[in-house]
Structure 1
Amino acid sequence: MTLSWFQIVRLGLVQMALGAIVVLTTSTLNRLMVVEFALPAVLPGLLVALHYGIQLSRPRWGFTSDTGGNRTAWIIGGMVALAIGGFAAAYAVTLFAASYWSGLTLSVVAYALIGLGVGASGTSLLALLATATAPHRRAAAATITWLMMIFGIAMTAGLAGSFLDPYSPARLLAVVAIVVITATALTCLAIAGIERRVSIIRAEPDPTPFIEGLKEVWAERRARDFTLFVFLSMNAYFMQELILEPFAGLVWGFTPGQSTSLSGAQNGGVFVGMLTVGIMATGLKIGSLRNWILAGCVGSAASLVAIAWGGLALPAIGLTVLVVALGFFNGMFAVAAIGSMMALAATGRGQREGTRMGLWGAAQAIAAGFGGLMGAAAVDILRGPLADAPAFAVVFTIEAALFIAAAAMALHIMENTRSARAALVPGE
């Protein structure tokens, strides 16, 4: 028995809960450190890099869920760890005013917990989707669950932004507490009973050692090439993650609530971009996944160049419109890549879906941490000799160039024939 549409939507609720917590730690808290507490942008960059670095454990989580036959426990346990880490990270920000070292110490612990939680919960969830979804539903399942995640991110950022002004530590902690408690409860309700109703639980654990199983996956050329593409493209995707809200505050004069709402608007654009590809590629069968990836990468690059120049001229069109456009093309690229990932996870040697998803998740985590850290560090360095606006503009332009490079790589490694597309989206 495979996942029904209703069960796929329920798993999407878990993705939504994951995104709701993570968006506060990677955007709102980052902005508070840089703008309100005047800390160097590299500090939150290092913390977020730590949380992504911890996610190098994703292949191990995926392999464990492949061989252990109980993904539900890892999904719930990971969400609890993420919730605790998210609240601890918010509390740590409030400590910086009184004690820098106390705030930093708690932040390190909190972001490590966030990395463990996202790795355990997110990887096990994706592996459950990949193994229990009928082949002809995989692309649609990827679209549905990611749309729900982006909806959760956008909704959380928008609502949190409206409640954060006027900012106070007590208000911040109250907002974060509500988000993490709601997300944890939603996860438990959404995942309950699904795994035992689908045909993926194995009677006997797979005795293959982890390293041997990982080597088997890495030996698959498609899995290896796709890993390299994920690494490059996610460097481009995440390079602006830690600097966009500080850019809005320092260059455009946005308040904490306004910049958090800006993050919500960006993810609203991501939602529409994902929905567009879902309707066009999955529903109407227009365009190959490779072409949607190319369009998303090129459009993201153009939007970043516009944001870079916009910071220098402060055009009447406003930052929000430019950021929504960036989100739209980011979403277009992301959902096409995720659709390919979901289908490729089920190809190759059997019972390695979680390991493949973990490998790609680890590549994404390394790229996200490295890209975010490099973006933040570059801004810190450039703000010495340059004013704020041109410093940010240089970094946004570099990110645009990375998106063009990712498009070139996709053009090289992804075939564009109908037969190749059918392999990526079985049942088409």
Structure 2
Amino acid sequence: MPFADIGTNELPLPRLMRLSLFQVSVGITLVILGGTLNRVMAIELGIPISLIAVAMALPLVIAPARAFIGFKSDNRRSYMGWLRTPYVWMGAMTQFGGLAIMPFALFIVSEGQSQALIVGQAAMLLAFVLVGFGVHTVQTAGLALACDLATDEKRPRIVAMLYTMLLVGMFGGALAIGQLLKDFSYIGLVRVLQGSAVLTILLTTIAIWQQEPRRRDREPSPQAARDTPRFFTVVRELLAGQADLKRLLLALAVGTAAFGMQDVLLEPYGGQVFDMGVGATTLLTALLAAGSLAGFALAARLHSRWNANPNVVAAIGLMGGIPAFSLVILAGALGSVALFSAGVFIIGLGSGLFSVSMLLAVMHRIGHAKLGSGLVLGIWGAVQAVAIGLSVAAGGAVRDQVAQLADINVLGPAFQGAAAAYSVVYHLEIGLLFAALLVLGPLVRPQLLEPRSAPTGRFGLPDLPN
């Protein structure tokens, strides 16, 4: 069994598996946000994709709060004696509220009645912000809690296991939601969203129950308040003191945007171009997660067995995305579901290779600074999520604009098909992949590489935010 040997006397495997349930709940929520709702809002409810893109992007654009949340949880002082638990619980409750009100907001928007449209749109955007903020808070504080409980020796593989559980949650959630919405109905959508809200609370409660020890030495005091470092000062010193860190973060942002721009388009593309049902398009998220797991396994072999340079492996992941998006474009022209599915799987594979390898490179440099795990996880997650948010919004806007121009025959007969507007976005993503390779290129030069220690025989991630 993978990760069967990572338990210790202080943190036995059953307790660790219970803690990982918060990642399973996050994985299910990400399937709903990034997969099912895209298709349902665009096809069944008829909501404009540009509005969907804004709704999807909002919770990601507020992701810089992850760094602040992680920093505050590192330095929290409370009479309760907990650092992370209050933040995890607050995040779960916020996520619950967003999922609970979301279906009713969507129905108001889909009806299109002018007197209620503004209220519906505001409620819809609020629901997405609440869910996104809840996910950011739960992940940042929950993973920081895992780092606190783990020993230095076991921490890399423990957080790697938590990342795997996130993908397992996405895969299992996609399969379950696909079956529940196989025959789509509005009542079924309400049940899925509100059932997911309840499941989020249950899984998170089970995950954090009696996990974090209470420390009475963390009580607030005037002296402790004066000694607490300032957030912006710490971040500024970190960026100024770490060589090549800014370039790494820029490469992370561009590469993440390249792989993430299609998140809002994947299921609508399957529905409009290939006439796939709701259940079938939801399974595309499972296929994407399976590709990410395969990329994780391949990165494990490359890093642990051959001591591969993480920058080079990240570049391999970026290059893998180029034929993947080409397959998706070709599938639309040929009407081939098989080619489309293959392209989706390879997108996940390349994305997994890129994200894991960039994490290793970034964490190697950040690890030299004496920082709490919450801030480190927050910075990583903030860069990733902001890049995805902006790219998702841009992808949806470009697709809608091209479709409108095609409808009035401005772009000529070549853009009349349903796949044409989507293919423009996929071509943009290929361009972003090349741009990410250009940013990453100088870090692959031999003179900029630091000596790497011999492989230990086991692969583990220092920390992982999502």
Alignment partner of 1:51 is 2:73:
no
Looking at structure 2, the residues matched to 274 and 378 of structure 1 have their Cα atoms a distance apart, in angstroms, of 31
SS of alignment partner, residue 371 of structure 2: coil
Alignment partner of 1:398 is 2:428:
yes
C-alpha change, 1:406 and 1:13, in structure 2 (3 Å) is farther
> Which of 71, 74, 92 pairs up with 1:66?
74
**Which residue does the alignment assign to 1:353?**
373
Q: Deviations over 1:242-279 (max 9, x none)?
A: 01111111111111221111222221221222233234
Looking at structure 2, the residues matched to 271 and 425 of structure 1 have their Cα atoms a distance apart, in angstroms, of 14
Alignment partner of 1:237 is 2:259:
yes
Q: Map 1:19-418 to 2 at 5 A.
A: 19-68=27-76, 70-98=83-111, 99=113, 100-196=117-213, 207-222=228-243, 223-282=245-304, 284-315=305-336, 317-348=338-369, 350-383=370-403, 384-385=405-406, 386-387=415-416, 388-413=418-443, 416=449, 418=451
**Which residue does the alignment assign to 1:419?**
452
Looking at structure 2, the residues matched to 12 and 312 of structure 1 have their Cα atoms a distance apart, in angstroms, of 42
C-alpha change, 1:252 and 1:331, in structure 2 (3 Å) is same
C-alpha change, 1:354 and 1:137, in structure 2 (3 Å) is same
Report the alpha carbon displacement of residue 109 of structure 1 after superposing the two structures with TM.
Answer: 1.3
SS of alignment partner, residue 129 of structure 2: helix
Count of aligned pairs between the two proteins: 424
Report the alpha carbon displacement of residue 12 of structure 1 after superposing the two structures with TM.
Answer: 3.1
Report the alpha carbon displacement of residue 178 of structure 1 after superposing the two structures with TM.
Answer: 2.2
C-alpha change, 1:416 and 1:344, in structure 2 (3 Å) is closer
Preserved contact between residue 29 and residue 90 of structure 1 (Cα < 8 Å): no
Deviation larger for 273-282 or 72-81: 273-282
Preserved contact between residue 251 and residue 311 of structure 1 (Cα < 8 Å): yes
Letter aligned with residue 292 of structure 1: V
C-alpha change, 1:421 and 1:128, in structure 2 (3 Å) is farther
Report the alpha carbon displacement of residue 73 of structure 1 after superposing the two structures with TM.
Answer: 1.4
Deviation larger for 3-12 or 365-374: 3-12
Q: Deviations over 1:157-197 (max 9, x none)?
A: 12101111221111011122222222321122122233329
C-alpha change, 1:245 and 1:271, in structure 2 (3 Å) is same
Looking at structure 2, the residues matched to 181 and 35 of structure 1 have their Cα atoms a distance apart, in angstroms, of 26
Preserved contact between residue 21 and residue 206 of structure 2 (Cα < 8 Å): no
Report the alpha carbon displacement of residue 33 of structure 1 after superposing the two structures with TM.
Answer: 1.7
Report the alpha carbon displacement of residue 353 of structure 1 after superposing the two structures with TM.
Answer: 3.1
Report the alpha carbon displacement of residue 90 of structure 1 after superposing the two structures with TM.
Answer: 2.9
Looking at structure 2, the residues matched to 117 and 316 of structure 1 have their Cα atoms a distance apart, in angstroms, of 35
Looking at structure 1, the residues matched to 20 and 66 of structure 2 have their Cα atoms a distance apart, in angstroms, of 19
- Gaps in structure 2 of 5+ consecutive residues: 1-8, 77-81, 407-414
Preserved contact between residue 99 and residue 196 of structure 2 (Cα < 8 Å): no
Q: Deviations over 1:191-234 (max 9, x none)?
A: 22333299x98996751122222222232334433322222122
- Normalised by the size of structure 1, how large is the TM-score? 0.89
Looking at structure 2, the residues matched to 418 and 6 of structure 1 have their Cα atoms a distance apart, in angstroms, of 38
C-alpha change, 1:140 and 1:276, in structure 2 (3 Å) is farther
C-alpha change, 1:275 and 1:8, in structure 2 (3 Å) is farther
- Gaps in structure 1 of 5+ consecutive residues: none
Preserved contact between residue 307 and residue 455 of structure 2 (Cα < 8 Å): no
Letter aligned with residue 192 of structure 1: W
Looking at structure 2, the residues matched to 310 and 294 of structure 1 have their Cα atoms a distance apart, in angstroms, of 25
Looking at structure 2, the residues matched to 174 and 28 of structure 1 have their Cα atoms a distance apart, in angstroms, of 13
C-alpha change, 1:422 and 1:281, in structure 2 (3 Å) is closer
Letter aligned with residue 27 of structure 2: G
Letter aligned with residue 152 of structure 1: G
- Normalised by the size of structure 2, how large is the TM-score? 0.82
Letter aligned with residue 375 of structure 1: G
Q: Deviations over 1:136-161 (max 9, x none)?
A: 44443343222110111111112101
Preserved contact between residue 236 and residue 400 of structure 1 (Cα < 8 Å): yes
Letter aligned with residue 92 of structure 1: A
SS of alignment partner, residue 264 of structure 2: coil
SS of alignment partner, residue 35 of structure 2: helix
Looking at structure 2, the residues matched to 63 and 140 of structure 1 have their Cα atoms a distance apart, in angstroms, of 23
SS of alignment partner, residue 167 of structure 1: coil
Give % identity: 24
Preserved contact between residue 143 and residue 339 of structure 1 (Cα < 8 Å): no
